[in-house]
């Protein structure tokens, strides 16, 4: 009788305690934040005392590693190849949202590193023939320039603002031909975060856009000579320290 009571008590106590992280978890949730809270398409944020809403946020992540060992992605029909994934949302087209990375093996604690961008060897190709997720036309500039690694677009009361990150200074005979030499500004940002099981990967836009005033005349299309890009690109990790990335 005493033994049966102890078994029942043990079961009750285990049911009340927090569940342990799944040691076999092979996926990682990703969230876009603003000022420490998740940012959704329906949310309004304030920049330079003006209201804005998210219109589109998508980015490519590639060359992912954990503790300096390659971490392969589990291919999916729309969003993942073994070494590259497309994350984010186009507001109003939520059917193609993707906020999760799925890997071929369980994750362990350690240093998770990845590149924001498309590797140079794959950056200049025909998107009409490319496999998903490299076939999304609005994430592509031209064969010459390659892909938009990150596309952020905001909608204001009567204006739109955009930040597109990609390679610049790419030389070829025409925009419809790939370059034969490396682009002058590859603009690939390498990010490292300390991962613990059960955490999610977040990108907070607030420190990236801090004290910045979006306007129709200061879009950033990765031009290093443009004042808006000189402010924003280092915050994304282009010749500067990347801001906003963390594990939560």
Q: How far is CA 72 from CA 26, 104, 105, 145, in A?
A: 11, 6, 8, 27
Q: Facing residues of 154 across strands?
A: 54, 161
d(CA 226, CA 243): 20
pLDDT in tens, the chain (248 residues): 434 443 333 333 333 333 334 445 999 999 999 999 999 999 999 999 999 999 999 999 999 999 999 999 999 999 999 999 999 999 999 888 999 999 999 999 999 999 999 999 999 988 889 999 999 999 999 989 999 999 999 999 889 999 999 999 999 877 778 888 999 999 999 999 999 999 999 999 999 999 999 999 999 999 999 999 999 999 999 999 999 999 99
Show the tokens assigned to 98: 């993707």
**pLDDT confidence of residue 231:** 98
Strands (E), 91-145: 100-102, 110-116, 140-142
pTM given for the model: 0.89
**pLDDT confidence of residue 13:** 34
Strands (E), 182-244: 189-195, 201-204
Every domain of the chain and the residues it spans: 24-247
**pLDDT confidence of residue 96:** 86
d(CA 75, CA 81): 5
Q: Does residue 36 have a cis bond before it (omega within 30 degrees)?
A: no
Determine contact, residues 31/98, Cβ cutoff 8 Å. no
d(CA 71, CA 222): 29
**pLDDT confidence of residue 196:** 97
**pLDDT confidence of residue 24:** 56
d(CA 243, CA 231): 12
**pLDDT confidence of residue 9:** 36
Residue with tokens 């040691």: 23
**pLDDT confidence of residue 107:** 97
Helix ranges, the chain (H): 2-16, 206-209, 227-236
d(CA 98, CA 119): 21
């Amino acid at each position: 009788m005493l033994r049966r009571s102890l078994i029942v008590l043990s079961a009750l106590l285990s049911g009340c305690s927090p569940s342990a992280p799944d040691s076999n978890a092979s996926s990682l949730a990703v969230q876009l934040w603003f000022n420490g809270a998740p940012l959704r398409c329906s949310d309004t944020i304030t920049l330079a005392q003006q209201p804005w809403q998210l219109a589109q946020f998508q980015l490519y992540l590639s060359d992912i590693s954990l503790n300096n060992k390659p971490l392969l992605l589990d291919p999916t029909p729309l969003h993942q190849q073994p070494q590259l994934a497309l994350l984010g949302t186009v507001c109003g087209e939520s059917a193609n949202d993707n906020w999760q990375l799925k890997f071929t093996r369980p994750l362990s604690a350690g240093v998770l590193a990845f590149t924001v961008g498309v590797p140079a060897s794959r950056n200049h190709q025909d998107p009409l023939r490319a496999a998903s997720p490299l076939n999304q036309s609005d994430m592509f500039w031209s064969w010459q320039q390659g892909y938009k690694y990150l596309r952020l677009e905001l909608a204001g009361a009567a204006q739109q603002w955009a930040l597109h990150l990609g390679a610049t200074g790419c030389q070829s005979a025409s925009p419809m031909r790939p370059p034969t030499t490396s682009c002058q500004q590859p603009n690939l940002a390498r990010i490292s975060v300390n991962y613990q099981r059960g955490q999610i990967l977040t990108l907070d836009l607030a420190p990236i856009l801090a004290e910045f005033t979006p306007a129709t005349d200061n879009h950033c299309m990765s031009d290093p000579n443009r004042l808006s890009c000189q402010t924003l690109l280092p915050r994304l990790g282009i010749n500067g320290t990347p801001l906003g990335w963390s594990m939560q």
